[in-house]
C-alpha cells in the first residue's frame, strides 16, 4: 500500500508515531518518515499498526492509497 504524507495538514499531535514507527517528526513536530525527512510518499506492506496510524490522524495528514 502507498502512504502519502501531507505536512501542511499535520498539527504535530504525535498520534501516528504512537501507532507505527514508520513515522517520526521534524524539529517543529511535523510528520515525516523515520528514515527520510524529504520523502512524502512510500510503498509499504500493510499492517494493523500502520492502518491504525492513518485512521487515527485527526487532520488526515496521512493518506493510504
State the pLDDT at residue 35. Answer: 95
Q: What is the pTM of this model?
A: 0.91
State the pLDDT at residue 21. Answer: 95
Q: Compute the chain's Rg from CA coordinates.
A: 10
For residue 57, give the CATH number of its domain: 3.30.70.20
State the pLDDT at residue 29. Answer: 93
> Which residue range is the domain that position 24 belongs to?
2-64
- The three cell numbers locating residue 54: 492513518
Strands 31-33 and 41-43 come out as: unpaired
pLDDT grade, residue 54 (50/70/90)?
Answer: very high
8-40 pLDDT tens trace: 999 999 999 999 999 999 999 999 999 999 999
Instruction: Tell me how many domains the chain contains.
Output: 1
Count H helices and E strands in the chain, helices first: 2, 5
User: Using CA atoms, how far apart are residues 15 and 7, in angstroms rounded to an integer?
Assistant: 14
Amino acid at each position: 500500500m502507498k502512504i502519502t504524507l501531507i505536512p501542511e495538514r499535520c498539527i504535530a499531535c504525535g498520534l501516528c508515531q504512537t501507532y507505527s514507527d514508520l513515522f517520526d517528526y521534524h524539529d517543529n513536530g511535523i510528520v515525516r518518515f523515520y528514515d527520510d525527512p524529504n520523502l512524502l510518499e512510500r510503498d509499504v506492506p500493510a499492517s494493523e499498526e500502520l492502518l491504525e496510524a492513518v485512521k487515527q490522524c485527526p487532520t488526515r495528514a496521512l493518506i493510504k492509497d
